Every structure is written in structure tokens, then in C-alpha cells.
A = this chain, B = another copy of it.
Amino acid sequence: MLDIAEVAEKTGLTASALRYYEDLGLIEAVGRRGLRRQYEPSVITLVGLISMGRAAGFSLTEIGQIFGKDGKPSIPREELHRRAEEIDRQIRDLKTLSALLRHVAECAAPSHLECPKFQKLMRVTFKQNAKR
């Protein structure tokens, strides 16, 4: 069993953020010792999941629908697949962005938008993203 402070430390969030997640129904404590919340170690995994979802651009409410504390997603299969595809698209964008950042770090061109290498990197992504 874990104190909120331990969960905070292991997840990198603050105790107040964890309580906030609880208010939203994203996580829950298995019980209390006095007033203090006691958490199962598995909550760390769950919080990790939440953080990944946040990083992927989901709102906390959406995340709740996908990985609620009850573990039963309240959104349809089809929608989940759609989200997965969105993430796959985002992964492609991020790959480009990562390459662009490294390029910007090294390239001495006056404006990057005019650098041919830069433009080439961009073009790939914009083709993929067209009409999105």
C-alpha cells in the first residue's frame, strides 16, 4: 500500500494532481488509513497510462472514458480504433518534428522555411496530412 506522496514521487505528479484525478473519477484509493488515502501499486501503472494519454492530446475526460477506474471503456470500439489511427498519424508528425528540430539545430540557413532540406522534410508530412 502506498501513501499519496509515494504515488506522487513514483509518477512525477503532485499529490494535489492525484486528488484532482480522483475527483474526476480517473483513479481511486483502495482505502484510508485515518484520513490518508492508501493506494495499490497498480495505480502507478494507471497514472502512467493517464500521462501517456495526456501527452497524446487527450483530455482527462476522454481518458476517463477509455481507461476509467472500472476498466470498462465507455466509448465504442470503432471510436477507439479511430483514436489509434489518429495517434499513428501523430507519430508520423512527431517523427518529422524531431527531424526538423535536429535540422534546425544544425542548419545555418537564414530562415528555415527557405532551406531546401527543411522544405523537403515538411513536404512529406503535409502530403500525408492533406485534407485532414
Contacts and interface: CB of A to CB of B under 8 A. Distances in A.
A64 B65 CA distance: 34
A12 B129 CA distance: 11
A25 interface: no
A117 interface: no
Range class of the A interface residue count: 35 or more
Nearest to A78: B105
Contact of A52 (B77, B93, B106, B111): B93
A45 to B, nearest CB: 6
Given A48-B125, A55-B57, A88 B84 contact: no
Contact of A70 (B52, B88, B111): B111
